[in-house]
């Protein structure tokens, strides 16, 4: 297995690729030899990171089980979901067969993944008699994936028909790896926004160095579209100032005059928007934003001024966008990521896609661009101007009013950008009230000398400082660090406390010393808990708060208050047919056996020994069709009055409704007070948190009178992992 590289740094050239945040990164961290790659792994309980090394030779035997570390790396990606997207696979197969018609074709596949497109190309080449005259070359730079590519090629007898390189495409050279420039390019380097996986620079370099002039390409063209919408839910995800003004509780994360000091990042945010269809008002028809021709070298940046006629009165809170692929040059094969309401409409200006495009998938979502503030008020039949621009990796919008005046403002150095869900949470009246009540009750008539905010909660840092003006407040801010300190300084006066009262450490918990506390004991330890950068992780990885409480143990006073005082692991049996379909084990994918990749990619069903796939984080409300089949059960308690320790829990789920059980959703409820009267749930009824989803080894038809699901779970404090075991009776 890959080991921890103590003191070993990756090559400097690899640092900019570190954490791109994409589910299917096409690039790995190449070491001195091409057979080795670096992978960064985060310890969720400490915030520490370590470099792992992945060797090409390791586990190369086709019959060997993949190493545990490799399974963990790849199961959390969207490769499996992508390979279960039948409409995508079928469209690519048809387009490749239409493009590879010359027996002497030289095909290049960039970002090979499991090698599916490469194998399609080799099969198409053989069908026209090109096995001895043409060639198929592929590059997959993410070494853990590249190792799986070789297994899939061997399993299908394609290892001698596809030449695979564990390199980035910009590391390939004609005359070295490639015998001659390719005349057919196949690729799938697309994210939800289209450009975020490096489509433009990849195409530029390929056209400059790897392709003939006027090559055939699959896809042939991509077009991005947008639509103006009104949505109170999307408004709450970006307009914190208006929502905390409605809360009227005296805590100002965005004081008057600093309305945008905390906001979402000005970018498109990937999100499944179909569940919002019933609460969205469409204020325009879909409009074309940009068109990208893969057969030509793309420009690095462009601008486009779009004229839009509104279709109703309302307030534009967001632009929802998507893209449509034209995969063949004849314009007969399309794939669309459009929302359901667009696919079901009769708009004649949009390309017509196959009927099976309605299947839910998670590897490509819709994108949301939030308008600023309360949104833009419009009237029906009003003409608006919108300026869109793109750079190498993203598309952005600049809102314009009818008089063509820019509405965008500039951001200052004390500005904080947070994810939309956190903005919505910070503006949520119930959530704010619960924390305010819990802190007030905890303080009571006590005079506290030292308080620690153990996480990255700006809300708690402001709240404790304003409610306990005589206390010294230590804000750990392990993720926000100096940015958090600058922010607090900017808003201190508006929240009625002196900045001298609060000290930002900007360190992880293990780095705090008694010197930082001036050798005083801690009377109050609080956290939401929330750690910047952990939003996409499993819910229990916020038990980092418990680990911090343990590290602070000798610094706590005898009667120190800890909030939350405990966490409760909750679960609910669910019917999740769409999510199951996207995570099910692979067999025949367009004529190619993919069963060899199932275990490594964390597939569900048809695995040896009733194996379950991994528990993965999802916004359950975005997982297509969902249905609760049971009430909510408690599985395990984490008592923060005690040092962190291993835990075990079990429960018996009785079903309240009939249906197909695909698994269970798991989350943590944070109990703020010892009376258990104030509880903040992170379950699926709230749309601001991800839940863990554990899919079963196979779906089970359940009946309330007969079926029971037994679930056991254990928590490992050394890794922060919770493992589940389930069985039916």
DSSP 12: G
Residues 6 or more apart from 513 whose CB is under 8 A from it? none
The burial class, CB within 10 Å (0-12 / 13-18 / 19+), for 380 is exposed
pLDDT band at 411 (very low <50, low <70, confident <90, very high): low
Mean pLDDT within 134-142: 96
CA distance 531 to 537: 10
Q: What is the pLDDT of residue 50?
A: 75
Q: What is the band of 2 on the pLDDT scale with cuts at 50, 70, 90? A: very low
pLDDT, tens only, 149-182? 999 999 999 999 999 999 999 999 999 999 999 9
- Annotated catalytic, 197? yes
Tokens 């390929």, residue located: 206
- Residue 607: the pLDDT is 75
pLDDT at 33 over 60: no
Strands, E, within 410-552: which ranges? Answer: 416-418, 450-453, 472-475, 502-504, 522-526
Q: Is pLDDT larger for residue 52 or for residue 728?
A: 728
Dist. CA 149–CA 701, nearest whole Å: 36
Distance CA 360, CA 321 (A): 17
Q: Above 90 in pLDDT, residue 725?
A: yes
DSSP E strands in 294-374: the ranges are 302-309, 314-316, 318-326, 334-336, 366-370
Residue 57 confidence (pLDDT): 59
Q: Would you say residue 189 has pLDDT above 90?
A: yes
Residue with the bigger pLDDT between 354 and 124: it is 124
Is 670's pLDDT higher than 60?
Answer: yes
SS3 assignment, position 583: helix
The Cα 152–Cα 157 span in angstroms is 9
Q: Can you give the pLDDT at residue 504?
A: 96
Nearest to 672 by CA among 571, 569, 562: 562
Confidence category of residue 447, pLDDT binned at 50, 70, 90:
confident
At 406 the pLDDT is 37
Spatial distance between the Cα atoms of 330 and 312, rounded to a whole number of angstroms: 37
Helix (H) or strand (E) holding 708, with range, is: strand 708-716
Q: Is 3.30.1330.10 the CATH number for 566-728? A: no
| pLDDT tens-digit series, residues 514-571 | 999 999 999 999 999 999 988 889 999 999 999 999 999 999 999 999 999 999 999 9
Per-residue model confidence as pLDDT tens digits over 483-493? 999 999 999 99
**Average pLDDT along the chain:** 89
How many of the other CB atoms lie within 10 Å of CB of 171? 16
Range 20-46 average pLDDT: 54
CATH architecture of 428-563: 3-Layer(aba) Sandwich (3.40)
- Token pair recorded at residue 420: 């939309």
Per-residue confidence (pLDDT) for residue 76, from 0 to 100: 87
Percent of the chain past pLDDT 70, that is, above it, reads: 88
% of the chain at pLDDT higher than 90: 80
Q: List the chain domain ranges.
A: 79-218, 222-230+261-403, 428-563, 566-728
pLDDT of residue 444: 87
Q: List the end-to-end C-alpha distance of the chain, in Å, as a whole number.
A: 37
Give the per-residue pLDDT at 3: 29
Per-residue pLDDT at 423 exceeds 60: yes
pTM higher than 0.85, yes or no?
A: yes
pLDDT digits (tens, 9 = 90+) for 603-655: 998 777 667 889 999 999 999 999 999 999 999 999 999 999 999 999 999 99
Count of all residues that appear for the chain in the document: 729
pLDDT of residue 352: 62
CATH level 3 topology of 79-218: Rossmann fold (3.40.50)
**Average pLDDT of the segment spanning 685-707:** 93
CA distance 531 to 181: 48
Q: Is the pLDDT of residue 588 over 90?
A: yes
Question: What's residue 502's pLDDT?
Answer: 95
State residue 36's pLDDT score. Answer: 64
Q: Say what the pLDDT of residue 16 is.
A: 33
Burial tier of 19 (Cβ tally within 10 Å: 0-12, 13-18, 19+): exposed
Question: Regarding predicted confidence, which is higher, 490 or 38?
Answer: 490
CATH of 222-230+261-403, one of 2.40.10.10, 2.70.160.11, 2.40.160.20, 3.20.20.70: 2.70.160.11
pLDDT-based confidence at 705, cuts 50/70/90? confident
pLDDT of the residue at 652: 96
Mean local confidence (pLDDT), 113-125: 98
Local confidence band at 51 (pLDDT 50, 70, 90 cut-offs):
confident
Q: Mind listing the pLDDT tens digit for each residue in 559-586?
A: 999 999 999 999 999 999 999 999 999 9
Are 222-230+261-403 and 566-728 in the same CATH fold? Answer: yes
- What local confidence, expressed as pLDDT, does residue 530 receive? 97
**Is residue 673 pLDDT above 70, yes or no?**
yes
pLDDT score at 405: 37
**pLDDT reported for residue 250:** 95
Taking only the tens place, the pLDDT of each residue in 284-330 is: 999 999 999 999 999 999 999 999 999 999 999 999 999 999 999 99
Question: What distance in Å separates the CA atoms of residue 43 and residue 92, rounded to the nearest whole number?
Answer: 39
Please indicate whether residue 33 or residue 233 has the higher confidence score (pLDDT): 233
Judge contact between 718 and 639, C-beta under 8 A: no
Asked if the model's pLDDT at residue 724 lies above 50, the reply is yes
Catalytic residue among 188, 230, 244, 421: 188
Catalytic-role residue among 58, 140, 193, 197: 197
């Amino acid at each position: 297995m890959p080991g921890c590289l103590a003191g070993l740094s990756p090559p400097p050239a690899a640092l900019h690729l570190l954490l791109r945040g994409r589910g299917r990164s096409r690039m790995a961290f190449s070491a001195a030899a091409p057979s080795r790659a670096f992978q960064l792994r985060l310890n969720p309980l400490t915030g520490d990171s370590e470099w792992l090394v992945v060797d090409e030779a390791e586990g190369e035997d086709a019959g060997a089980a993949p190493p545990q570390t490799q399974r963990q790396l790849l199961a959390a990606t969207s490769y499996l979901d992508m390979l279960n997207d039948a409409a995508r696979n079928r469209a690519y197969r048809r387009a490749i067969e239409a493009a590879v018609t010359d027996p002497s074709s030289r095909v290049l596949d960039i970002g090979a993944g499991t090698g599916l497109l490469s194998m399609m190309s080799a099969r198409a080449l053989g069908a026209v008699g090109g096995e001895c005259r043409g060639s198929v070359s592929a590059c997959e730079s993410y070494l853990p994936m590249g190792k799986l590519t070789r297994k899939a090629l061997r399993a299908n007898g394609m290892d001698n028909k596809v030449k695979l390189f564990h390199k980035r495409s910009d590391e390939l050279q004609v005359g070295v790896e490639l015998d001659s420039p390719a005349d057919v390019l196949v690729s799938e380097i697309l994210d939800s926004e289209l450009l975020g996986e490096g489509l433009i620079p990849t195409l530029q370099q390929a056209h400059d160095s790897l392709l003939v002039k006027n090559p055939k390409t699959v896809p042939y063209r991509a077009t991005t579209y947008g639509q103006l919408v009104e949505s109170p839910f999307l408004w709450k995800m970006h307009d914190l100032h208006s929502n905390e003004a409605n809360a009227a509780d005296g805590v100002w994360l965005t004081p008057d005059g600093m309305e945008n000091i905390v906001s979402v990042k000005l970018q498109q945010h990937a999100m499944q928007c179909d569940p919002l269809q019933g609460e969205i008002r469409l204020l325009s028809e879909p409009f074309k934003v940009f068109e990208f021709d893969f057969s030509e070298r793309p420009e690095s940046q462009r601008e486009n001024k779009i004229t839009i006629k509104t279709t109703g009165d309302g307030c534009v809170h967001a632009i929802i966008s998507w893209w449509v692929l034209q995969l063949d040059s004849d314009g007969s094969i399309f794939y669309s990521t459009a929302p359901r309401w667009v696919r079901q409409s009769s708009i004649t200006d949009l390309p017509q896609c196959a009927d099976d495009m309605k299947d839910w998938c998670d590897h490509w979502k819709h994108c949301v661009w939030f308008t600023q503030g309360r949104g833009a008020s419009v009237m029906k039949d009003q003409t608006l101007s919108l300026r869109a621009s793109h750079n190498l990796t993203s598309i952005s919008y600049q809102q314009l009013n009818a008089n063509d005046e820019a509405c965008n403002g500039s951001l200052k150095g004390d500005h904080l950008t947070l994810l939309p869900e956190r903005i919505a949470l910070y503006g949520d009246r119930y959530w704010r009230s619960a924390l305010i009540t819990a802190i007030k009750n905890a303080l009571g008539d006590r005079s506290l000398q030292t308080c620690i905010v153990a996480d990255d909660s700006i809300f708690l840092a402001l709240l404790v400082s304003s409610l306990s003006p005589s206390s010294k407040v230590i804000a750990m801010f392990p993720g926000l660090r100096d940015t958090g300190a600058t922010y607090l300084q900017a808003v201190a006066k508006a929240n009625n406390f002196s900045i001298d009262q609060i000290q930002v450490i900007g360190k992880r918990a293990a780095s705090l010393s008694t010197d930082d506390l001036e050798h005083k004991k801690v009377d109050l330890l609080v956290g939401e808990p929330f750690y910047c950068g952990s939003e996409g992780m499993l819910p229990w990885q916020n038990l980092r708060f418990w680990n911090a409480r343990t590290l602070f143990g000798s610094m706590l006073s005898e009667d120190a208050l800890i909030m939350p005082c405990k966490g409760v692991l909750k679960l609910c049996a669910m019917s999740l047919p769409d999510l199951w379909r996207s995570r099910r084990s692979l067999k025949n994918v367009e004529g190619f056996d993919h069963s060899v990749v199932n275990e490594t990619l964390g597939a569900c069903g048809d695995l040896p020994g009733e194996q379950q796939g991994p528990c993965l984080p999802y916004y359950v409300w975005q997982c297509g069709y969902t249905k609760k089949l049971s009430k909510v059960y408690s599985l395990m308690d984490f008592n923060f009055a005690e040092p962190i320790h291993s835990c075990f829990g079990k429960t018996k789920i009785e079903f309240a409704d009939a249906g197909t059980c695909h698994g269970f959703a798991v989350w943590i409820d944070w109990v703020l007070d010892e009376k258990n009267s104030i509880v903040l749930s992170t379950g699926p009824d709230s749309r601001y948190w991800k839940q863990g989803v554990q899919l079963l080894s196979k779906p089970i038809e359940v009946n309330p009178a007969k079926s029971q699901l037994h679930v056991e779970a254990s928590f490992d404090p050394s890794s922060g992992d919770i493992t589940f075991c389930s069985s039916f009776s």
